[in-house]
Amino acid sequence: MNWNDAARQVRWNIQPFIDGRYKPSSAQELADDLNPASETMLCRFAVGSALDVDEAVRVARQRFDEGCWSGLPPGRRAATLMRLADLMVEHKEELALLDALEVGKPISAALFDVERFAADRLRSWAGFADKLVGASAPMVSATMSLNVYEPRGVVGAIIPWNFPTVNAVYKLGPALAAGNTVVLKPSELSPSSALKLAELAVEAGVPAGVLNVVPGLGATVGAALASHPDVDFLSFTGSTVTGRKIMELSARSSGKPLLLECGGKSPQVVFGDVDNLDSVADATVQSVLYNQGQVCSARTRLIVEQAIKEALLEKVVRRAREYKPGDPLDEATTFGPLASPAQRNRVKGYIEQGLKDGARAVLQGKVQETGGCYVEPTVFDRVGSHMSIAREEIFGPVLCVQQFKTESEAIALANGTEYGLEATVWTRDMGRARRLAHAIRAGEIAIRTSGAEGPASGCLLSYEPRKASGFGSELGIGGLESYSCLKAVHLSGA
Ligand code: NAD
């Protein structure tokens, strides 16, 4: 496929998709849609408005109350979402290209995201649609008490830009499978694939108005959705700072319940008993540099036992040095630009701060200042726990290395940030593995001994982030539970 030709043929159409069709936004002001690989403009689009949100919520409410989706047998919803997953795969080039152009995602990775990540997970949630069963209490005299799951109603969903198609599916998958209607706000950096998904949903048979997408800025569309009184549940993925704003907006309006998937600063703890440092180095570099480090669960803190630190660091640096940023539309590229000039500047700021604070850059990547948001990998050794590079989410290709001598020191370092999303522990000692799995405050923990990680079946399991990383679960059947309400029904009568 000639991706450059395909890119020239994209017809940009960024406007609200409500009730199964595109409608112009009521906003006059425009925002730029930028290609971060060249810092050139792809198109301009309306910043969106509270009126757009009102309209989308009104339609979503009407469709919910009509029961055209919530009232279907769950198996029918499942079949429709399976069709949507198939359509995503049929349109994978288009979806992947939109993500590659808007956020600089390497095209090969973007194709993988659509097919193996987004479509597969959508099938997984669809498969749970008819398996969410309630409970019944022991029968007492003439009363029968049942617990039934009901969809929450109108779900507002706000998502970031780091995996545009995947992030959208992570919201609409469990929300629609559970029978809700949805108003989705994609990131202003990457609105196009979510709009395409909404078109495909209608083609798959999701009734018009069940999935609506309102593009626009966080301060306009996002805030309007978070504070809308007729949104029954708000699901947010993004930074912890914005997550806290969402809590305030919700509290000040209707007090709607929330699901928050926020930032991370995940540790990779390596004990000296691992027998294959090459596996650890491969996994470390892959975790930190995948998607240019713009991954919430990236293991950006390498916490390593002193005795093996130098040997491991040498292997990590050798591998990281090989990552050279390339054109996202070249299928051979595995490492592209950061998603925006703001993201580039943020990462650059953290690198400068790390140097100022006294961390030692054993690898310091170049930062391209204009004509493309390219940032090469940086590895910091001798990182103190007080430094901002150790505590704050950088969301770029920067690894911080810290060392420990004892298990309790390792645990303290792993737990030493406000985040609690994910963690990896490398050890062959299963007693220690169990102790750390318990002691590390994170929603998901991988224990590894050696070799490559097997294919992930983890998406079938639910987990909740800890601390500032958020709350509520999305994956597995727990995702459908999050988007449902339990009701107790007591039946009595002669
Ligand atoms: P962000 O918080 O800046 O924006 C996220 C979304 O919120 C965007 O759609 C944005 O427009 C919207 N928004 C911004 N201000 C708002 C406001 N005042 N009211 C309502 N909505 C508002 O985050 P980002 O830069 O787009 O994404 C990066 C962040 O996302 C990182 O912190 C990363 O860890 C996090 N993330 C978390 C997960 C997870 O599963 N925990 C997954 C992916 C990304």
Helix (H), strand (E) at residue 321: helix 306-321
Give the closest residue (by CA) to ligand 1 atom 18. 219
Q: What φ, ψ does residue 401 adopt, rounded to 5°?
A: -110, 130
- State the virtual CA torsion across 118, 119, 125, 130 in degrees, nearest 10: 170
pLDDT at 139: 80
Question: 131-154: per-residue pLDDT in tens?
Answer: 999 999 988 778 899 999 999 999
Question: 100-117: per-residue pLDDT in tens?
Answer: 999 999 999 999 999 999
Q: Are 74 and 125 in contact (CB under 8 A)?
A: no
Q: Where in the sequence numbering do the catalytic residues fall?
A: 261, 296
**pLDDT > 90: percent of the chain:** 95
Longest Cα–Cα distance of the chain, Å, equals 79
Measured CA to CA in angstroms, residue 141 lies from 36, 135, 490 at distances of 68, 18, 12
Give the closest residue (by CA) to ligand 1 atom 22. 218
Q: Residue 79 pLDDT > 70, yes or no?
A: yes
Question: 439-473: per-residue pLDDT in tens?
Answer: 999 999 999 987 777 666 656 789 999 999 999 99
Length of the chain in residues, anyone?
A: 494
Q: What's the average model confidence in pLDDT over 180-192? A: 98
Strands (E), 306-390: 360-363, 378-381
186 CA from centroid of ligand 1 (Å): 10
d(CA 466, CA 261): 10
Our CA angle for 254, 255, 256, nearest 5°, is 90
Tokens 């030709």 -> residue: 5
Closest among 179, 85, 171, 172 to 132, alpha carbons compared: 179
Helix (H, G, I), strand (E, B) or coil at 160: coil
pLDDT at 455: 64
Q: Are 401 and 302 in contact (CB under 8 A)?
A: yes
Task: Assess whether the C-beta atom of 474 lies below 6 angstroms from ligand 1.
Answer: no
Pocket test for ligand 1, best of 169, 190, 242, 250 (most atoms within 8 A of CB): 242
Task: Assess whether the C-beta atom of 170 lies below 6 angstroms from ligand 1.
Answer: no
Question: 205-232: per-residue pLDDT in tens?
Answer: 999 999 999 999 999 999 999 999 999 9
Residue 169 CA from chain centroid, whole number: 10
d(CA 15, CA 57): 16
Q: What's the average model confidence in pLDDT over 3-9? A: 97
Taking the CA of residue 470 as reference, the ligand 1 atom at the shortest distance is 41
Quick one: DSSP state of residue 46? E
Q: For the packed helices 74-90 and 192-204, what is the interaxial angle rounded to 10 degrees?
A: 130
